[in-house]
Amino acid sequence: MNSDAAFQADAHLLLTGGTGFFGLALLRHWLANPSLLPRVTLLSRNPAAFAARHPELAQLPGLRLHGGDILQPGSLPWQGRFSHVLHAAADSTLGPQLSPLERFDQVVTGTRNMLDLAVATGAQRFLLTSSGGVYGTIEAATGVSETCLTMPDPLQPSQAYNVAKRAAEHLCALYQQRLEVVIARCFAFVGRDLPLQVHFAIGNFIHDALYNDALIVHGDGTALRSYMDQRDLAHWLLVLLLRGHNAQAYNVGSEQAVSIAQLAHLVRDLLAPHKPVKIMGRAESVGTRTVYLPCIEKARFELGLQLQFSLHESIREAARHG
């Protein structure tokens, strides 16, 4: 990894979502690169549970756990002084357990609370982890760029998360005169902390390869995806936080397209070559995107960011910890 994600000696970072996939990626990045670790306050709804589950991460030098909730302003660390805020809460992992209105409120109200906190505590830089879902349904088999102005259908409750991320981005733009704001439009990822039994196809395939008799593709397998390693994700997020241009959005992901059927066979070949892949061919549900691919030229050209880990390496890494 490059060392261009180093904070100044007096930096103090407030990290939300530190116990989710993005946060764990960042903490593991610092565990592997301790010289890059700034002073960090990690916001968690249940710090004790996190510390019990990940003692090696909770004991990182300079890390302080703060019990609080982005939807409860009174629980937030208003008395602190922060130089940077990385708002990675409200990712897509547990979202389907919430109602559309709950999802929308979690993203939008939570972002507004964190922006207010950033201003009140003197932060100079704020990074929002948004989503590639803000572009809506893009069927072209080439990566979507940040100049694309399409959006999800605001009249569909199923689009609550994506519409909320678009609204949260606009909130950040409204605060750009008071602090520097950068948007990370995040696509799909894989790594040791990816849940293997939720709604992520690659995680389900890895779980099938490790524990089941066959790898199951529920659709026809033609949908196109790409996957960034969580170690690359962590590095990219920190570079965007430190060096991304004010009031700009950057796609975060991989440009290596793979169909879901190809992905299932790749996982099988790497992890369980004796197991079959079964493509069920069921019709996709309404609103399911068939193409989800970013163009990452902007991050590459403006910030010099590259992918360090291949999809093969990422799958093996996830399986080692599955």
The amino acid that residue 280 corresponds to is M
For 146, the domain range is 12-189+229-253
CATH of the domain at 20: 3.40.50.720
CB 231 within 8 A of CB 309: yes
The pLDDT tens digits for 178-195 are 999 999 999 999 999 999
Q: Are 154 and 138 in contact (CB under 8 A)?
A: no
Mind listing the pLDDT tens digit for each residue in 272-281? 999 999 999 8
Confidence of residue 96 (pLDDT cuts 50, 70, 90): low
3-state secondary structure of 128: strand
Overall number of domains in the chain: 1
Q: 66-75: per-residue pLDDT in tens?
A: 999 999 999 9
User: What pLDDT shows up at residue 282?
Assistant: 72
Domain assignment of residue 279, yes or no:
no
The span from the CA of 46 to the CA of 34, in Å, is 25
265 assigned to some structural domain: no
Q: Which pLDDT score is estimated for 286? A: 47
Query: Is 171 a member of any domain?
Result: yes
Region 229-241: what's the mean pLDDT?
98
